[in-house]
Amino acid sequence: MPRAIAPAALNEHHAIKKIGRLSVMSIAALALTCAVLLATGFQVRLLYEHETAAAEHIRAANAIDLVVGRSGPLRQSDAAMIGRIAGLNGAHLSSAAPSDPNALMIPLLGEQSLFGSYLVWGENPFANDMFRHFAPIRLPVVAAMLLFVAGLMLHLRRLVGDIERQRRLAHRQSRTDVVTGLGNRLALDSTMDELGTAAIPFGIVILDLDRFKAVNDALGHAAGDIVLRTVGQRLATLLGPQDQLVRLGGDEFVIVAVSTPGADTLDLFARECIFAIEQPIDLAGRTVRIGTSMGIVAAGSSDLPPAILLGAADAALYRAKAMQGSSFQFAGETHSDQTSWHLRCA
């Protein structure tokens, strides 16, 4: 399909798109931060348990040496004393290593005990108690804050999406002709600037409709609008995918020819346009025929300002209008069989 509306510049409203990307990044960063905090909490707990267990082993070994040095081999009653001295939880003697993964132990030498090979005690519950005490409060609060902030970010993301859609709609409407749905002068200027900046060759065909005023005056503006839309639809079928068709106003149209920018191809293209426009148009049972005059600027002058190019095409258009019937003229050239083509109405 031909391009009827000039696209927005690549950097247009870049800030709005950046806000949307930052919103997604903020949500991801917030979730990652919460995950890191939770992982850090578990790591601190494990580190505390490890350091506490190491300290308890040292205190237990010192207490065993103290009690054995005073009283000889350990008895069960001595295990309780060691527990009080070293601050061990539920210290007792055992002949086998404990199967409880939460239990701590220290092996005893043969002369240290007559009743067991291990001094066993329970791990310090401080870390677990603290975690169980604060987790039911802190974790729901953190989760609620995470959901709240994520909800705000998602809402912001939706707002940015709405703003972007409204911007695109406003951009399209500002570059659209209300009657025909084609591009307007703003779309034309934008496209010509982009093609000139990119050094893409293009031709310009400016045309107006012959006998359109008579149809508009005789049948009314509604009939005139139908004629304009019909002409726009017929011309659009002749365009290439990179070409653009705009309506400047009244019965005047402009075609930016990127697919056929050369003089030879524009000559053939102009003939096709005249043939398409001169086909009968049905207006609620009445058939009308119109013609067209065209001014053409071929590729080769694309580095000139758009106003200069349109002015040259407009001058060629007025030379074509001086001829009888549908015709076209190339800018900068005089009338001859090689530079113009004249089609008289049947």
Determine whether 112 is exposed, middle or buried from the number of CB atoms within 10 Å of its CB (0-12, 13-18, 19+). Answer: buried
Q: Can you give the pLDDT at residue 198?
A: 86
pLDDT in tens, the chain (346 residues): 445 444 444 444 566 667 767 777 777 777 777 777 777 777 877 787 788 878 888 888 888 888 877 877 887 777 788 878 888 888 888 877 887 777 888 888 766 766 668 888 877 766 666 666 666 666 677 777 777 777 777 777 787 777 778 777 777 767 888 899 898 988 888 888 888 888 888 999 999 999 999 998 888 989 999 999 999 999 999 999 899 999 998 999 999 999 888 888 999 999 999 999 999 999 878 899 999 999 999 876 556 777 888 889 999 999 999 998 899 999 975 544 333 333 333 3
**Could you tell me the pTM of the whole model?**
0.55
Domain-wise residue ranges, the chain = 1-174, 185-343
SS3 content of the chain, % helix, strand, coil (to 5): 55, 20, 25
Q: Can you give the pLDDT at residue 120?
A: 85
Q: Which residues, other chains included, contact 59 with Cβ-Cβ below 8 Å and sequence gap of 6+?
A: 85, 86, 87, 88
Q: Which residues, other chains included, contact 155 with Cβ-Cβ below 8 Å and sequence gap of 6+?
A: none
For the stretch 198-229, pLDDT in tens is 888 899 999 999 999 999 888 898 999 999 99
- Other C-beta atoms closer than 10 Å to the C-beta of 313 total 23
CATH superfamily, region 185-343: Reverse transcriptase/Diguanylate cyclase domain (3.30.70.270)
State whether the Cα torsion 330-335-338-342 is positive or negative. positive
- Give the Cα separation of 53 and 98 in Å (integer): 15
Q: Please, which residues bridge with residue 183 across strands?
A: 176, 246
Half-sphere exposure of 273 (CA within 13 A, CB side): 30
